[in-house]
Amino acid sequence: MLLELVDVHRSYQIGESTVNALRGVSLTIERGEFVAIMGASGSGKSSLMQILGLLDTPDKGEYLILGNNVNTLSEDEQAGLRNNVAGFVFQQFHLLKRMTIVDNVRLPHIYSGLKGDFRKEAIACLKMVGLDQRMDHTPNQLSGGEQQRVAIARALIRDPLIIFADEPTGNLDTKNSLEIMKILQGLHEKGKTVIMVTHEHDIAAYADRILTMRDGVIISDERKPGVEPVSAAGEIAFETHMSRKVSLWQDGRFRGFLAQAFQSILANKMRTFLSVLGIFVGVASVIAMMALGEGAKAAMQEQLKSMGSNMLSIRGGSAKIRGASQGAGAVARFTFIDVTDIASLRTVVKNASGVVNGAGRIVYGNKNWSSTLTGVGFDYGTMRSSVPTVGRWFTNEEIQAREKVAIIGVTVVKELFANSNPIGKTVKINRINFKVIGIAPAKGFSGPQDEDDVVIIPVTTAMYRVLGKDYLSGIFVEVTSPTLIEQAKSAISELIRKRHHLKADDDSFNIRDMTEIQQMLSSTTQTMSLLLGSIAAISLVVGGIGIMNIMLVSVTERTREIGLRKAIGARRSDIMLQFLVESVGMTISGGLIGVIAGIGVSLMLAYFAGWAVKTSLVSVVLATAFSALIGIFFGLWPARKAAALKPVEALRYE
């Protein structure tokens, strides 16, 4: 026995009322039979056929295929059976409009778990229905009768045991109906089991056996005189029809999904573009912002380097309460003896230089300019990268002799000398004549401070001739290696405490290193990037919601397609993957275009605005991966929704 129904019931719930479509149907069908199911409209014919074709399940009663109870099969096993043993022909044809005829015919093979492209087989099936010449046309270029013949070819591609046809001629004229019936009869003669629903007597006349239904029960079951039921010929390995053996990647299923996604994206270009816009903007801004952030960081590091690395700055006064009154003697006053003592800590200290700071009013001709005045020792030049490239640095003798020589920054040069060469000129600094011997290398801005608005003179000259001080403002120290900074700090502290007779907790001086400044700067840039990053993240989430929305629309639009795919053997996971591939495809392509645009924008900022930018591979990879994740996250719900649709309900959807 091929098929057996025992007391099958099926009812539908519409709001409050219940429609009993099948009310106790028992029936057996043998292999090779040609059965017509007749009856008035609404008598339950389609309901019965959907149960026989595993598109629907009974509420009550048993259904056995080759002796196996369908109730014990999982959803996936039922899908496997639909793919392997059943072929469907529907009144509405249910061809996929965007695919060519030949692709429609071979569609069931995507879900078969077999390798190959099955084009040849599809053409052979089309030949059987006389349409092999039209294989590259799309369904809407064909007449109704031709479309139904394509549907029959599709039903045949998996060489099924049973052909289920629900009103196959219902939408066709007499001539086309006859052609379809001839094909079905031919299949029957070749040994296929054909089960057909119709309400027309002359169509039913092709069958060997006619079942008549009324109000959900079979009221008659007649065989053509002289035709005996054929008993099952040959064994059928039932189990092999339920499972797929090869993986997603082997059987071309994934390729099929990709092609599908591509087609669907192409078919809705404007819509896809608009829904991908959010992702595009989000990714582009992530890339541009990260490039800006990285660029700013790199620029800052470059600047820190020009300030001199491994530097310590020793100053009088507490590090904690700067400027607060400490009383007389609370501030340590450093002299040149401190400098030489510190410089003699050879293991940790490479160089040391005393500095004094003050204000300088500098006059040349009729121009004058106020600048910071810094008195420095000989080593300061190399330590802080201040040795002029135009002109020269001080000599040791000049420093010893308190010579009146000065090195000026480019800002000062611009203000006082306009375009003329300042080297060798005499200027007045705080009313004392100085000779300009060099221009300090340009350093740009550090925060709001113009590092080029400086006047550098020998420390001795500054103390004794200009500022009238007999002590230093501070000492700059270059540590031998960055790893020794902490060690150097404690050695220097100890030395100063000893020399100045200070207690261990005395804070009349402080030592700072550049890492503090560096940390402060990088924490500022971090806050900035975090802020910019979260703005970009919000736009990505909004973009993701856009994708979800469009995917939900797509699922609704394609409900009947999903029904058809399920009918020909797609499993839940297949449908889900198909929609996920589509949403991820959209977000990734949006993401990739966004990456390109982001790089473009940052290059433009660099070119036109002169901002420091630095695109990193990490940001590109991150942004692309993140857009794929968004595709998965926001595509999951629509995809699950599509996958959960029941085949019958999806097929009926209008």
Q: Please list every residue from 260 through 319 that binds ligand ADP, using CB under 6 A.
A: none
In one-letter notation, the amino acid at residue 455 is V
Query: Rounded to the nearest whole angstrom, what is the least distance from the CB of residue 213 to ligand ADP in the complex?
Result: 7
**Is position 441 an interface residue for ligand ADP (rule: CB under 6 A)?**
no
Query: Rounded to the nearest whole angstrom, what is the least distance from the CB of residue 44 to Mg ion in the complex?
Result: 9
Query: Rounded to the nearest whole angstrom, what is the least distance from the CB of residue 56 to ligand ADP in the complex?
Result: 9
Query: Rounded to the nearest whole angstrom, what is the least distance from the CB of residue 24 to ligand ADP in the complex?
Result: 14
Query: Rounded to the nearest whole angstrom, what is the least distance from the CB of residue 45 to Mg ion in the complex?
Result: 5
In the list Mg ion, ligand ADP, none, the entry touching 617 (Cβ below 5 to 8 angstroms by class) is none
Q: Which stretch binds Mg ion (CB under 5 A): 7-15, 40-48, 556-564, 603-611?
A: 40-48
By C-beta, is 39 or 591 nearer to Mg ion?
Answer: 39
| Beta carbons of 56 and 50 less than 8 angstroms apart | yes
For the chain, the helix, strand and coil percentages under 3-state DSSP, each to the nearest 5 = 50, 20, 30
| Beta carbons of 85 and 164 less than 8 angstroms apart | no
Query: Rounded to the nearest whole angstrom, what is the least distance from the CB of residue 111 to ligand ADP in the complex?
Result: 24
Q: Please list every residue from 12 through 51 that binds ligand ADP, using CB under 6 A.
A: 12, 14, 19, 21, 39, 41-47
| Exposed/middle/buried for residue 267 (C-beta within 10 Å: 0-12, 13-18, 19+) | exposed
Beta strands per DSSP E along 198-344: 209-214, 217-223, 311-316
Q: Which stretch binds Mg ion (CB under 5 A): 42-50, 62-70, 365-373, 608-616?
A: 42-50
Using the rule CB under 5 A, which residue among 10, 43, 46, 85 binds Mg ion? 46
Q: Per-residue DSSP letters for 75-96? A: HHHHHHHHHHHEEEEETT----
Task: Tell me the pairing of strands 209-214 and 34-39.
Answer: parallel
Residue the block writes with tokens 């700013």? 296
Question: Strand order of the sheet with strand 60-65?
Answer: 17-29, 3-14, 60-65, 68-69
**Residue 221, token pair as written in the block:** 């079951």
**Is position 50 an interface residue for Mg ion (rule: CB under 5 A)?**
no
By C-beta, is 32 or 58 nearer to Mg ion?
Answer: 58
Query: Rounded to the nearest whole angstrom, what is the least distance from the CB of residue 70 to Mg ion in the complex?
Result: 21
Query: Rounded to the nearest whole angstrom, what is the least distance from the CB of residue 652 to ligand ADP in the complex?
Result: 6
In the list ligand ADP, Mg ion, none, the entry touching 14 (Cβ below 5 to 8 angstroms by class) is ligand ADP
**Is position 145 an interface residue for ligand ADP (rule: CB under 6 A)?**
no
Contacts of 240 (CB under 8 A, 6+ apart): 84
| Beta carbons of 253 and 569 less than 8 angstroms apart | no
Q: For residue 2, which of 214, 236, 168, 167 has the smallest C-alpha distance?
A: 236
Query: How many alpha carbons fall within 13 Å on the CB side of residue 298?
Result: 12
By C-beta, is 142 or 567 nearer to Mg ion?
Answer: 567
Element (DSSP H or E) covering residue 562: helix 559-567
In the list ligand ADP, Mg ion, none, the entry touching 293 (Cβ below 5 to 8 angstroms by class) is none
Q: Which stretch binds Mg ion (CB under 5 A): 39-47, 57-65, 450-458, 640-648?
A: 39-47
Coil, strand or helix at 99: coil
| Beta carbons of 568 and 647 less than 8 angstroms apart | no
Chain positions contacting ligand ADP, by CB under 6 A: 12, 14, 19, 21, 39, 41-47, 652
Chain positions contacting Mg ion, by CB under 5 A: 46
